Amino acid sequence: MITIKNIDKVEAKKTNVHGEALYKVLFDKDTLKAMTGFWQTVVNPNIALPPHSHEDEEQIYFILEGNGVVTVGGEKERVKKGDAIYLPIGINHGFINDSDKPCLILAVGAKVHT
């Protein structure tokens, strides 16, 4: 069975955990088997995703548009369109859009079974 979702038809929502960023979840654990989610995050100018970690999930962020600063552990790096960032389990990570344009991030998460 083929499942297709169009990003323009997915409602953007905020979460209590990740500050003022907007999330469009395309697929979640109700559809996925090995992954926890596949979503787009919009981080508007001067908005931050506060540092947080996941004890049993790794993630990848892919910058579709815009730029900002990602923090992973104690390291900070400027990222831009086309960059992919690996976020390991149990390590604090966060993001700030310090620019004047929205930053679009495509993200995927997967549970790690140890």
pLDDT tens digits for the chain (114 residues)?
A: 899 999 999 999 987 666 788 999 999 988 998 899 999 999 999 999 889 998 999 999 999 999 999 999 999 999 999 999 999 999 999 999 999 999 999 999 998 876
In a domain, 1, yes or no: no
80 located within any domain: yes
CA 58/CA 10 separation, integer angstroms: 24
Position 23 scores a pLDDT of 92
Q: Residue 14: its pLDDT value, please? A: 85
Query: Residue 17 belongs to what domain range?
Result: 7-111
Rounded to the nearest 5°, which phi and psi values hold at 8?
-70, -15
CATH number at residue 11: 2.60.120.10
Q: Report the domain count for the chain.
A: 1
